[in-house]
Amino acid sequence: MLTVSFPAAAFGTNCYVLALGRGQECVVVDPGIGVEEQLREVLRELDLKPTAVLLTHGHADHVYSVTPVCGGRIGAYIHEDDRYRLKDPLGGLGSGLVAMLEQQFGTKASWTEPEDVRELTDAQSLELAGLRIGVRHAPGHTEGSVMFSLDQVPDGLPDEVEVSSSLLAGDVLFAGSIGRTDLPGGDDEAMQRSLRDVVLPLPDTTLVLPGHGPATTIARERVTNPYLTNL
């Protein structure tokens, strides 16, 4: 699976582009703040055509560029419990943080909802860009946080990395940590259930592609991540 990832210009949010190969349709995951130019470059260089934008949850740092990326031509996919967040994700940042970002980028922050929003449900299976993508509802960071699972793994992994599937984990699971639960809509008890019932049952050979920071594996997190070992 052709997999390209790069961090957004703010908050280090990982934006992912997935496709079967060059010259194919692709899926964009979590286009955050300031990713448009780099995303256009990736799509142009690899001759990729976006067919969908997947959102792991509705926080502004993961959805900010969804509308221009969709361009009124493709759908934006988000869990039904986070659908309301697309009405005003900037409101969740607070005026002070928005002002700081406006100063950093030199432009006025604005928001328009995507024209075509498609609501996801738990255990749903999507067929997009030739990829079969499973939806795993894992609330705790937000009410509608999801992880996306695929049977494929990125091309070019070192031989010593023994993985057989991929998980786009959003802000549920990071290398050595988890998403915070103290923001509006966060729920520590729900996060504990998600980690116990959704994350821990995953095979050790699952490659984790998180919303922030480096990739990891379920095998590694199972024995080193204190939020999992303490469950």
Instruction: Give me the mean pLDDT over the 49-71 stretch.
Output: 96
Percentage of the residues of the chain whose pLDDT score is greater than 90: 85
Instruction: Give me the mean pLDDT over the 68-91 stretch.
Output: 93
Q: Which residues of 150-166 are buried (b: 16+ CB within 10 A; e: fewer)?
A: bebbbeeeeeeeebebb
pLDDT of amino acid 80: 98
Structure tokens at 203: 């095979």
Distance CA 34, CA 106 (A): 12
Given a cut of 70, is residue 104 above it in pLDDT? no
Residues in the chain: 231
Question: pLDDT-derived band of residue 127, with 50, 70 and 90 as boundaries?
Answer: very high
Q: What is the DSSP letter of 198?
A: I
pLDDT of amino acid 158: 87
Q: Average per-residue pLDDT in the chain? A: 94
Given a cut of 70, is residue 76 above it in pLDDT? yes
Question: pLDDT-derived band of residue 53, with 50, 70 and 90 as boundaries?
Answer: very high
pLDDT of amino acid 58: 97
